[in-house]
Amino acid sequence: MTAETLPCEVDRLPHVSSRTIRIVLTEGRNRQIRRMCKVLGAEVVKLERVEFAGIQLGNLSPGAHSFLSKQETKAVKALLKSAGIS
C-alpha cells in the first residue's frame, strides 16, 4: 500500500439508483476507488470521471480530448502556481 491520501467525500445518489454513489477525491492513487470499494465488499460496475482539476469533462469519449477555454487555462495556471509549479 502507498502513502495515505487526503480524505474523500462520499454521497449516495438514490435519485439515480439505490446502488449509485459519488466519490470526490482531492488526491488519488491508481485504482484507489476500486480498492476502497473492494475493502467494503462492493463491486465497481461502472466508474466515470466527470471532472479533473476543476474542469468539467462533459461528454468526452475515452481517449478523446478537447481544447481548454481561456478561463480553464487560467484556472489550471492558478492551480499550478498555488502548488509551487510554474
> Containing domain of residue 67, as a range?
9-82
Question: Is 3 inside any structural domain?
Answer: no
Number of domains the chain is built from: 1
| Domain membership flag for residue 2 | no
User: What do you get for the CA distance between the two ends of the chain, in Å?
Assistant: 31
What pLDDT digit, counting tens, does each position of 56-82 carry?
A: 888 888 888 889 999 999 989 998 898
Q: What is the pLDDT of residues 6-38, one digit of tens each?
A: 888 999 998 888 888 899 988 878 888 999 899
Flag whether 48 is in a domain: yes
Asked whether residue 1 is domain-assigned, the answer is: no
Model pTM score: 0.67
H helices within the chain, ranges in order?
Answer: 32-39, 70-82
Q: Is residue 65 part of a domain?
A: yes
